[in-house]
């Protein structure tokens, strides 16, 4: 299922973006020169594509897959990558607490 998610996500992001696996079941899209609103639109596109995708288990049963997404952007030129990742992680946790299968933007 992770491979199928990665395939959907790779097709959902823009050609200028790249997708990195960031842990067990976590992925981190890197979107250079992108404002927060645009990043949120791209992330929502990925979320909705995953929600309607035809994903099958090894025995060919259809599996419902959803994603919780946190979106963050550099707050200032001096902002650190660690701070960016922390804000995105907090937004993911807020999405999960809010019921999953949703996107939360760190403002």
DSSP lists the bridge partners of residue 28 as 20
Read off the tokens for 15: 């050609």
- 44 catalytic residue (yes or no): no
Residues 25, 26, 44, 90: which is the catalytic one? 25
In contact, 66 and 78? CB cutoff 8 Å: no
In contact, 43 and 103? CB cutoff 8 Å: yes
In contact, 87 and 106? CB cutoff 8 Å: yes
Coil, strand or helix at 58: coil
Q: Which residues are catalytic?
A: 25
């Amino acid at each position: 299922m992770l491979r199928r998610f990665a395939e959907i996500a790779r097709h959902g992001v823009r050609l200028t973006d790249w997708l990195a696996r960031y842990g067990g079941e976590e992925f981190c899209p890197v979107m250079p020169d992108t404002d927060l609103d645009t990043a949120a639109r791209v992330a929502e596109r990925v979320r909705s594509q995953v929600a309607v995708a035809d994903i099958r288990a090894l025995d060919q049963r259809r599996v419902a897959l959803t994603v919780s997404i946190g979106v963050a952007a550099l707050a200032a030129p001096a902002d650190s990558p660690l701070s960016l990742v922390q804000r995105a992680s907090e937004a993911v946790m807020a999405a999960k607490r809010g019921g999953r299968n949703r996107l939360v933007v760190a403002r």
